[in-house]
Structure 1
């Protein structure tokens, strides 16, 4: 969102020549460095929050209890136990992971490639793609923030909604080859906002729900498994995005 805001500001303020683009790039990288520093500071501060300490203590107690039960067992059994635990975690969170994978396959195959290359506006001209990207990022943030208000507790609904996002394909395709109205700014903008909103919300919901279906000492590993699904979704979505070009 911040980057999109900066792009709008720099495009409005700086001339679109080599000098203006250089100033925009310098501002972008300067802001990026500052944000990275702020994130590093916040990362170290978050670990000291009472809520984080509370859950770390819970995990430590659970791990200690498990170790007490297995302290007399052999190392070979421990290795097989580790493998079985990983298999158990993947089995428990696989549908959540598949939902996240589908979310990012759909999103990355449409955004930003389709948004920046395939749709055009005679009214907004080169501002069109910039505003669409900004709209997506804003609504993605709104979607992530909505989980602070309400989280769907039914995993089937959350995963089903992730599958239902496949409907974005025919809808965006209609914006390219459908009736004239669908090729105007309003439908494309609404679909882009909805794409961002559902991406942010359902990703957050699945990330919240999945670690709760395993034991607390396995929650961190479950999160890592989900991130693996997310990365695969990013990669597959980036490849699928080429079909819009083809």
Structure 2
């Protein structure tokens, strides 16, 4: 698919936008749609879904294996150190990417990020077999593991920013695929936790085997992601939209818009256009991370389900998060104001979950906590998907990638703030 076709399609898009007669506009839109290659066997959709699943697995592997790391390094605050290393490095990396995305190729960024993911994931199992061997208190291993977590933070910024940015240039269904994939990652990890708890003994050997399994599964999925991503660029439907972007970029470069002060002005304009979408995403994750997973794993207890209770609650959240992110494939809320307002309305979850600890006895049973947890996941998933789909469509095609990366930056900042609030807000 060459630039001529892309230019024709771009011209058709412009004509459609500027036509005031409804019949003419509809016929031009149909003509343009006929030129768009089909996504045969939904392969591009499946690839973007898999990529969304993949880029969250490394973090999930590190944090899910935290029990094993805490056993190896009893004097270290493993979960806090990992969170700080991952979040801080990720945010700094994303800031660099936002400012320099127009000068770099997302194809290279994503491939480099996927390679860094594989390297960081290999560190733990190799070091365990060759050096640590299940021994306690070898803190050189902790420092190396923390460095691997930080490396994953860089990789996450490269891959997540690139994938969300790339999906922002495509039709809505591909962003929905990526976002749903991120939820599928949580579901996969939850089922892995259930499997390892049911199969492996809850002792040193069992913790070690569980941790190694998490990393092996993540490495396999990441290698699949590398193959899938490089296949995606050969698919006609992806090539079509990449050609459209290239055509638009060439036109802007001829005008000098992508250089110096003009680019900085364009960047501030992009942020201005999507800022409320970004604040909606930010508050979604401030609320979610204030409650999940800390409240669920530490604050609630069940005499009946015992230590299975938090695992089942985590699984319930992840399953309903996936349901919410999949619902936008059936119905997409088109009113951004409603979606943003609903994001802020989720602040009501804070007093509701507080009531499940300190309210009447009936609220402190398994059923209300489980229902609220499912609703927390469902709203998190649906509203995230809606805002991530709508935001890149508010800017020109050329700037859709940057808009997607900025949205990821808002999301990561929301995760960081939510994680901090979770430490200080004692339910």
Q: Does 1:104 align with 2:285?
A: yes
- Aligned-partner Cα distance in 1 for 2:321–2:411: 16
Are 2:252 and 1:66 equivalent residues in the alignment?
A: yes
36-45 or 123-132: bigger deviation: 36-45
How far, CA to CA, are the matches of 1:152 and 1:121 in structure 2? 37
Moved more, 59-68 or 25-34: 59-68
Moved over 4 A (4+): none
Q: CA deviation at 1:67?
A: 3.1
Q: How does 1:221-232 map to 2 (within 5 A)?
A: 221-232=402-413
1:52 aligns with 2:238: yes
Q: Which residue of 2 aligns with 1:185?
A: 366
2:206 pairs with one of 16, 20, 25: 20
Matches within 5 A, 1:1-246: 1-68=187-254, 70=255, 78-245=259-426
Separation in 2, partners of 1:88, 1:21: 50
Contact 1:89 1:218 in 2 (8 A): yes
Instruction: State the Cα distance separating 1:238 from its structure 2 match.
Output: 0.3
- In structure 2, distance between residues paired with 1:187 and 1:54: 49
> Greater relative contact order (Cα 8 A, min sep 6): structure 1 or 2?
1
Q: Where does structure 1 lack aligned partners over 5 or more consecutive residues? A: none
Residue 118 of structure 1, CA deviation: 0.4
Task: Return the alpha-carbon distance in structure 1 between the equivalents of residues 235 and 413 of structure 2.
Answer: 32
Question: 2-side partners of 1:12 and 1:229: how far apart?
Answer: 38
Instruction: State the superposition RMSD in angstroms.
Output: 1.6
> How many Å separate the matches in 2 of 1:85 and 1:53?
26
> Given the two structures, how large is their TM-score scaled by the length of structure 1?
0.93
Aligned pair count reads 241
> How far is the alpha carbon of 1:148 from its aligned partner?
1.2
Give the drift of 1:48.
2.4
Distance 1:188 1:51 in 2: 44
Partner of 2:83: none
Superposed CA deviations along residues 93-134 of structure 1, whole A, max 9, x for unmatched, are: 000000000011011111000110000000100000000111
- SS across alignment from 1:125: coil
For 1:200 and 1:159, how far apart are their aligned partners in 2? 14
Question: Deviations 1:177-217 (Å, cap 9, x if unpaired)?
Answer: 01111111111111111111111111111111001111110
Point out the more displaced range, 165-174 or 20-29: 20-29
Q: CA deviation at 1:23?
A: 2.0
Question: How much does 1:10 deviate?
Answer: 1.5
Q: With the length of structure 2 as denominator, give the TM-score of the two structures.
A: 0.55
